[in-house]
Chains A and B, each alone.
Chain A
Amino acid sequence: AIRGVLSAKRRRKNADLPSVPVLAIVRSSPPPPLGRNIAAREIPVESQPGEMGFIGDQVESIRSMQVRQVVTQIISLGMIVTSALIIWKGLMVATGSESPVVVVLSGSMEPGFKRGDILFLHMSKEPIRTGEIVVFNIDGREIPIVHRVIKVHERQESGEVDILTKGDNNFGDDRLLYAQGQLWLQKHHIMGRAVGYLPYVGWVTIVMTEKPIIKYLLIGALGLLVITSKE
């Protein structure tokens, strides 16, 4: 790094002299070696009282990286983000549910589902029947609820359904949770039915939403890893 700085200075000095031919400028400041960031690492930390320690080292390595490398890393970061998005949207198409994977937040379905378990949802054309575990949205309520269907009334001609739900671990049915005066759920309240189950995995998102500092630390650390990795 020191050599780089010196050569830049020399170059500037040379540029002040108009009479020097261009070729000479090029010769007097040879192109920086490719492995320059490695050279920076080799310099003992003690010899640089100005920029110190790990962070300074990282900043230096970021600054001295080649443009091509930076672009490659931006692209690979973009690939990670977009492929995650593609998988999520692809799941939405495949399952027909607007949120294909949900995390259980309450204990109302214990001992079947505990807080922190994840459920895979599916939204097919098939009609809702009793016993199925559905995820539904109540108007005016932000968080969807996962409960079991205990009553179904399906109309003759229109095929419209009235659905009543209850949490396995709750004493009474869900009418107290529904909107004021609402007796039944209709089809449009239902976001999907649970078809698959995986325990504990949802704790990751619960911890991240409840302790945002952990989320930011994690994102920061991962970002730094991606930026500073030299592969």
Chain B
Amino acid sequence: MHSFGHRANAVATFALTILAAMCFAASFSDSFNSPTPAASAQILNINWFQKEANANDEVSMTLNISADLSSLFTWNTKQVFVFVAAEYETPQNALNQVSLWDGIIPAKEHAKFLIHTTNKYRFIDQGSNLKGRDFNLTMHWHIMPKTGKMFADKIVMTGYQLPEQYR
């Protein structure tokens, strides 16, 4: 009954159970964190704005993005993926979400940042609906844990508008 195999089996099973319980506890502890993140974004310049050959509107802009996401970090956080998307409605589409910039925050020390950038991904509409279009800039974040459940949330920043004319 107390052979080497039995002992090894018991130790392995116990170790795995403890490990699983610890993973669960670490993930569960995340739900006690109530973060207070802050974000703001400004459009400094519309670099160009035109209709492409395939009749889709495209715009290039320069943005100032600042945020303080340090309260999102817990001991179970591996990294925070953060991105800013332009969100707007067109006659054809109930919702358009176009990611303009994203970044990975590897540690709490880097979670407070100010970035001056042009849009990293092309801002192309489906169709030609961008002239004078009102849109939101939404900062989304996706908390990627060391183990367990992933969390995501966002801050919506309203009141942006594209120019009435191509330039």
Residues of A participating in the B interface, judged by any CB pair closer than 8 Å: 111-113, 129-133, 148, 150-156, 159, 162, 168, 173, 194-199
Given known pairs A150-B121, A194-B150, A199-B147, the reply for A156 and B92 (CB within 8 Å) is: yes
Given known pairs A131-B83, A162-B126, the reply for A197 and B145 (CB within 8 Å) is: yes
Contacts of B150 in A (CB 8 A): 133, 194-197
Given known pairs A130-B83, A150-B102, A150-B121, the reply for A155 and B97 (CB within 8 Å) is: no
Residues of B participating in the A interface, judged by any CB pair closer than 8 Å: 23, 27, 78-79, 81, 83, 85, 91-99, 102, 104, 106, 121, 126, 140-142, 144-150, 152, 154
**A111, A197, A199: residue with the most chain B Cβ atoms closer than 10 Å:** A197
Query: Is the pair B97, A152 in contact by a Cβ cutoff of 8 Å?
Result: yes
Q: List the A residue with the shortest CB-CB distance to B146.
A: A199
B125 to chain A, nearest CB (A): 9
Query: Is the pair A129, B97 in contact by a Cβ cutoff of 8 Å?
Result: yes
Subset of 5 A-B contacts with CB under 8 Å: A111-B79, A129-B97, A156-B93, A159-B94, A196-B150
Given known pairs A152-B97, A199-B147, the reply for A131 and B142 (CB within 8 Å) is: yes
Given known pairs A156-B91, A197-B150, the reply for A130 and B96 (CB within 8 Å) is: no
Contacts of B98 in A (CB 8 A): 151
- Partner of A153 from the list B27, B93, B148 (CB cut-off 8 Å) is B93
**Cα-based distance from A154 to B94 in the complex (angstroms):** 6
**A113, A130, A155: residue with the most chain B Cβ atoms closer than 10 Å:** A130
Q: List the B residue with the shortest CB-CB distance to A231.
A: B1
